[in-house]
């Protein structure tokens, strides 16, 4: 388990579409943090890490908390993006991006916001279009569109005289923040938490081996997974 931190470079290569993601590592300054076991310490496990985050969140709730404010930001398509600002009163702020079929209320994102609050850092967690409380229809993939949603959010705070010190994405959101960094160069720190390395991996298992032929023939395919609602998959415009 690790956290991948990218310090943005002046010029980054443009990433490919949602079917693959490629980055030239030499253009990034990065740090990868691994949790490891230390002498005379209990083994570090996912359960312990999760418990620590939950404990931190409960501690912050016992103190006078940050002001939490519901903020609505329009994207370039006129859709309303709904988010929660946890404000410390400082100028600096970190933007948090959720993963696939998730929302700003996911346990991972809420716990990260709580940990930032405990450290005295403001954060803004929001729903991408088609997810959570935000306007729009859910789409499979659509990394470019979510990167543009993120751009609308960062611009809102930059124009409000806030300093966006970092953008952090969890799971699919990790790919979104890297895609954002390849196009825009206005955020110095990019944090990818548990993002995919190869986006092609696992697609056939989800959609079937002939998914591309079916999409090209019918224009879309419907995906139905046990215990979840149905959603369409289409080709993303170039």
pLDDT, tens only, 160-201: 999 999 999 999 999 999 999 999 999 999 999 988 777 677
pLDDT of residue 20: 37
Task: Supply the CATH number for residue 61's domain.
Answer: 3.40.50.1820
- Give me the domain span that covers residue 92: 2-32+56-198
205 domain-assigned: no
190 domain-assigned: yes
Q: Degrees (nearest 5) of the Cα angle 54, 57, 62?
A: 130
Of residues 24, 7, 6, the one with CA closest to residue 15? 24
Which positions of the chain have pLDDT values less than 50? Answer: 1-4, 6-63
Q: Is the model's pTM score more than 0.75?
A: no
Q: Degrees (nearest 5) of the Cα angle 150, 64, 92?
A: 35
pLDDT, tens only, 38-63: 344 444 344 443 443 443 444 444 44
114 domain-assigned: yes
214 domain-assigned: no
Question: How many domains are contained in the chain?
Answer: 1
Tell me the three state secondary structure of residue 225. coil
End-to-end CA distance of the chain: 34
């Amino acid at each position: 388990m690790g956290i991948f931190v990218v310090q943005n470079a002046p010029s980054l290569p443009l990433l490919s579409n949602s079917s693959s993601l490629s980055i030239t590592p030499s253009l990034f300054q990065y740090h990868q943090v691994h949790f490891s076991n230390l002498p005379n310490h209990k083994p570090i496990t996912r359960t312990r890490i999760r418990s620590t985050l939950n404990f931190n969140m409960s501690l912050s709730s016992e103190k006078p908390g940050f002001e939490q404010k519901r903020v609505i930001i329009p994207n370039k398509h006129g859709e309303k993006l709904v988010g929660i600002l946890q404000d410390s009163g400082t100028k600096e702020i970190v933007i948090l991006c959720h993963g696939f079929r998730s929302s700003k209320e996911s346990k991972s994102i809420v716990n990260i916001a709580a940990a930032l609050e405990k450290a005295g850092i403001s954060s803004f967690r929001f729903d991408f279009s088609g997810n959570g409380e935000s306007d729009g229809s859910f789409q499979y993939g659509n990394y470019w569109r979510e990167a543009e949603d993120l751009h609308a959010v960062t611009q809102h705070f930059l124009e409000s005289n806030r300093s966006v010190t970092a953008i952090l994405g969890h799971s699919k959101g990790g790919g979104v923040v890297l895609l954002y960094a390849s196009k825009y160069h206005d955020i110095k720190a990019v944090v990818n938490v548990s993002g995919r390395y190869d986006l092609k991996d696992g697609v056939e298992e989800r959609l079937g081996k002939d998914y591309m032929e079916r999409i090209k023939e019918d224009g879309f395919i419907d995906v139905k997974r046990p215990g979840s609602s149905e959603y369409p998959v289409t080709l993303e415009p170039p």
